[in-house]
Structure 1
Amino acid sequence: MEKIEDLLSLVAHEKGLDKEEVKEAFKRSIIKIAKKYIGDIDVEIDLENKMGIYQIFEVVNDDRALENSEKYLYLDEARDFEPDIQLGDKLKVELDLSKLGRSGANSLQREFEKEVTRLLENEIYRKLISKLNTIVTGEVIKVDSEENTWVDLNGVKGVLPMRNRIKGEKFEVGDVLKALLKFVHFDDKRGIVIELSRTSPKFLEKLIEKAVPEVRDGIIKIHASARIPGIRSKVAVSSINPRIEPIGTIIGKNGVRINAVSNELNGENIDVIEYSNKPEIYIARALSPAIIKSVKINEKDGVAIVEVDPEQKAKAIGKNGVNITLASMLTKYKIVLEDAKEKTKDTSKLESLFKI
C-alpha cells in the first residue's frame, strides 16, 4: 500500500493538485470498481498516514456466510484474523486487489484517470471563477462557420461569440486577442464553457484600469459606463484626491491614455465625464457636449426632463440618437428633451441591446 500512496503523491505533484483530494479520488475509484468486480461489498479506505483498503465483514454463525461470503464471515473464520471478535461485530480485512483481475485493474486505472481529470477541471474552474470580469489574453485557434472566435487561454478554450464582438472586427487564426472573461460554466458533457466579451461596458472599464495607474490604485473611481460598441461610449469618474483631476488624468497627455483604449476598441469614441451624486448635475454632464439649461427629475417614473436651447438639441440627441441613448444608459434615467419630444427618436430598442 505504501507504493500506492507514493504513486498518489506523485500524481498530485505532477498535476499540481491537492494530495488529499487525489487520495479521495482514488478512494472513490476503488469503491466503485471493487463493487463492480468483486460484488456488493463494503469497502473502507484509511487515508491516515499509511493507506489501507479494507473489505468489511459482519461476523455471523448462520447461512448468511454461505449465501453472501463477500459481506458475512463465520465466527471461527473471523477469529483467525481477530481472536477476541464476537458475533455481530464488524471485521476489517485488507482487500486483495488481485481479486479485481486484469480487467478490473484496467477499469480501476481508467476510473482513476477520469477522477483526476475531474479534479483538474475543478481546479481550472476555480481559477477561472476568480478571474471573472477581468481581461484575459489568448491566441485565436479557430473561427467557426458562425463567426464565433475560439481562443486558447493557457490550455483551455474560450469562445468570443459573434454577438460579443465589436462590429467590423474580424480575427484570424494566430491573432492575439484581448477580451473580458464574462462567463464561466461547468457542463457535464462539454466540460468548462468560457464566454468572452469585447462589447461589455466592463471591458471598457478594465481597459481604462490597465491604462491608468490612478484607477488601479483607487485614487480615481469609475462609477458607471455605457457603450454602443465600436461607435461611442461614456464613462463617469471621480477622484478622491482633490489635487488629481479625474478627466484629464484618464485622457492623459495629448490623449495618449484614452487613445490607447480607443484603439483596442476598434476606434470607439470615449467621452469621460465627472460623476456627481446630484442627479441633475450628473445628467447635464452626461449629455455633453450639449449645454443644458435645466434638468427636472421625476424619481417615481425614473424620468429626467431636460431643457436645452434649440441650437443645442442636435448635440444633446447626437447622430442617430447615440448621445441621448448613452446618457440614459449611464445615468439610469429616461431622458426627455423638453419641447423636442417629437424630434427625439425612440432609442429604447437600441439601448436594450447594450445594457450590462
Structure 2
Amino acid sequence: MNIEFIEALQQIQKDKGISKDILIEALEAALISSYKRNFGTSQNVRVEIDKDKGDVHVYSQKNVVEEVEDDLLEISLEDARAINPKYEVGDIVEREVTPRNFGRIAAQTAKQVVVQRIREAERGVVFNEFINRESDIITGNVARVAKGMVYINLGKTEAILGPTEQMPNEEYNHGERIKTYIVEVKKTTKGPQIVVSRTHPGLIKRLFELEVPEIHDGVVEIKSISREAGSRTKIAVESKDPNVDPVGACVGPKGARVQTIVDELKGEKIDIIKYSKDPAEFISSALSPAKVVTADINLEEKTAKVVVPDYQLSLAIGKEGQNARLAAKLTGWKIDIKSESQAKENQE
C-alpha cells in the first residue's frame, strides 16, 4: 500500500462520512488475521499502518518472563536485556517481522475491509434515517410480490409488507405507489429491516393528520380509533376550539378530506364520531349510523345497556356484529344492545 491508498481513504471519509482513522484501525485488525492465516503462525503480532505514507509494518510481540514455556509468545529476561538492558519481567518486546510480499496481501485485505465498512456505514445511515420514522407514513412503489410478502421500494432500501399487515382483497401490482405505516425498524446482519403495515390503526391516524390541517395543528384531536382493515373504521375526534366542528373538519368541504382517505384505503368505510366525556353520549354517537333511544351506564363495571328503535336493531349491531364491535372498541365500554320491544319485554 502507498500514499495513493491514504488519499483514497481521505476521499472515502469525505464522500461517505467514514473516519479515515476508523478505517485504518479496522484494516490493522484485519491484517493481523491475514498475517497469521497466510504465514501459519500463532504468535502475537501488531500491525501498524503509517497514516501519512500508507506503509505497513508487522511487529511480533513477546512477553518478558523469567522462564520461557512458549518461545512463540515469550522471551527470557536475559534475551530481552540483550536487546535492551531496560527490559523488565512483564514488559513486551517487539521486533519487526514484515514479510517481503506482505504488501500484496495487505492490498487485497484493504479492499475487502473498506468495501465492508462502506456497506456497514451505508446500512447505518439508512437505519438511523428510518428508526426516527417509526409510527409514521411512508410512500413507496411495489417492487415485487413473493411468497405472500410484498416488497416496497423506498429508494435507499426496501420495506416488507407481511401477509398479516396486508388489507383483505387488496392487490399489490408491480410499480404501484402506495402509502404504508412503519411498524418497526430492526437491525439485521443484512442491514435494516423495515416492517410496514396497511392494516394498523396508526395508518388511519397519520392519513387524517396529513389531510386535516386542524388535526396537524392540534386544534382537533383524535381520541381513539377502532378498525377492521379493508371494511370499516370508527374514529373519535374532539375539538379544543368551540368554534371548530371536529367532525366537519375531518369530513372536509363536500366530504373531500375523508374521501381522499377512503380512496387511499380502497373504499374502506370511515365513521367519524364526535368524542364526549359523557359515556352515554359517546356510546350513542359511536353506534352511528344507528339512533340510540336510551343508554343506561354502569360506571363500576364499565358496561352500557343501549336501547334502539326496533327497525334499527340490525343497523346498530351491524353485519356480523361489526358496528357494535367497533363501537365497543372505540369507547372501551362493553355494550349490550336491545330493541325497544326487547327492552319492554324485559321490563314486563
TM-score by length of 2: 0.80
Structure 1 pair 279–98 and aligned structure 2 pair: CA distance change class (3 A):
farther
Partner of 1:262: 262
State how far apart, in whole Å, the 2-side matches of 1:28 and 1:110 are: 13
Match of 1:244, SS state, is coil
For residues 3-18 of structure 1, the aligned pairs below 5 Å read 6-17=7-18
State how far apart, in whole Å, the 2-side matches of 1:333 and 1:258 are: 26
State how far apart, in whole Å, the 2-side matches of 1:47 and 1:209 are: 56
Partner of 1:127: 129
Structure 1 pair 257–130 and aligned structure 2 pair: CA distance change class (3 A):
same
**One of 73, 76, 80 as aligned partner of 1:75:** 80
* Comparing 293-302 and 40-49, the one that deviates more: 40-49
Match of 2:328, SS state, is helix
Bigger Cα Rg? 2
What's the offset of the Cα at 1:112?
Answer: 4.3
Match of 1:67, SS state, is coil
What's the offset of the Cα at 1:294?
Answer: 3.3
User: Which amino acid is the alignment partner of residue 316 of structure 1?
Assistant: A
CA offsets 1:259-278 (integer angstroms, 9 cap, x no match) = 11111000111111122234
Q: Does 1:329 align with 2:329?
A: yes
State how far apart, in whole Å, the 1-side matches of 2:97 and 2:133 are: 44
What's the offset of the Cα at 1:257?
Answer: 0.8
For residues 171-182 of structure 1, the aligned pairs below 5 Å read 171-182=172-183
Structure 2 unaligned spans of 5+: 343-348
For residues 281-292 of structure 1, the aligned pairs below 5 Å read 281-292=281-292
State how far apart, in whole Å, the 1-side matches of 2:4 and 2:69 are: 33
State how far apart, in whole Å, the 2-side matches of 1:112 and 1:250 are: 52
State how far apart, in whole Å, the 2-side matches of 1:215 and 1:27 are: 55
Q: Give the root-mean-square deviation of aligned CA atoms.
A: 3.6
Partner of 1:158: 159
Partner of 2:112: 110
What's the offset of the Cα at 1:104?
Answer: 5.8
For residues 211-250 of structure 1, the aligned pairs below 5 Å read 211-250=211-250
Structure 1 pair 90–222 and aligned structure 2 pair: CA distance change class (3 A):
same
State how far apart, in whole Å, the 2-side matches of 1:127 and 1:166 are: 27
User: Which amino acid is the alignment partner of residue 91 of structure 2?
Assistant: D
What's the offset of the Cα at 1:49?
Answer: 11
Match of 2:172, SS state, is coil
* Comparing 245-254 and 33-42, the one that deviates more: 33-42
User: Which amino acid is the alignment partner of residue 187 of structure 1?
Assistant: T
State how far apart, in whole Å, the 2-side matches of 1:97 and 1:207 are: 64
Structure 1 unaligned spans of 5+: 343-356
Match of 2:208, SS state, is helix
User: Which amino acid is the alignment partner of residue 321 of structure 1?
Assistant: G
Structure 1 pair 62–263 and aligned structure 2 pair: CA distance change class (3 A):
same
Match of 2:241, SS state, is coil
Partner of 1:203: 203
Partner of 1:186: 187
% identical aligned pairs: 27
User: Which amino acid is the alignment partner of residue 75 of structure 1?
Assistant: A
Structure 1 pair 137–45 and aligned structure 2 pair: CA distance change class (3 A):
farther
State how far apart, in whole Å, the 1-side matches of 2:213 and 2:180 are: 20
**One of 67, 88, 93 as aligned partner of 2:90:** 88
State how far apart, in whole Å, the 1-side matches of 2:322 and 2:179 are: 26
User: Which amino acid is the alignment partner of residue 30 of structure 2?
Assistant: S
CA offsets 1:275-297 (integer angstroms, 9 cap, x no match) = 22343332222111222233344
Aligned length: 335
CA offsets 1:12-61 (integer angstroms, 9 cap, x no match) = 33234466655554455345445545534254879999999885734537
* Comparing 179-188 and 101-110, the one that deviates more: 101-110
User: Which amino acid is the alignment partner of residue 170 of structure 1?
Assistant: E
State how far apart, in whole Å, the 2-side matches of 1:191 and 1:36 are: 28
User: Which amino acid is the alignment partner of residue 210 of structure 1?
Assistant: L
Contact 2:153 2:159 in 1 (8 A): yes
TM-score by length of 1: 0.78
Contact 2:3 2:52 in 1 (8 A): no
Structure 1 pair 309–243 and aligned structure 2 pair: CA distance change class (3 A):
same
What's the offset of the Cα at 1:327?
Answer: 0.8
Contact 1:12 1:22 in 2 (8 A): no
User: Which amino acid is the alignment partner of residue 213 of structure 2?
Assistant: P
State how far apart, in whole Å, the 2-side matches of 1:18 and 1:276 are: 57
Partner of 1:275: 275
What's the offset of the Cα at 1:238?
Answer: 1.4
Contact 2:134 2:183 in 1 (8 A): yes
Contact 2:185 2:195 in 1 (8 A): yes
Partner of 1:41: 44
State how far apart, in whole Å, the 2-side matches of 1:297 and 1:99 are: 87
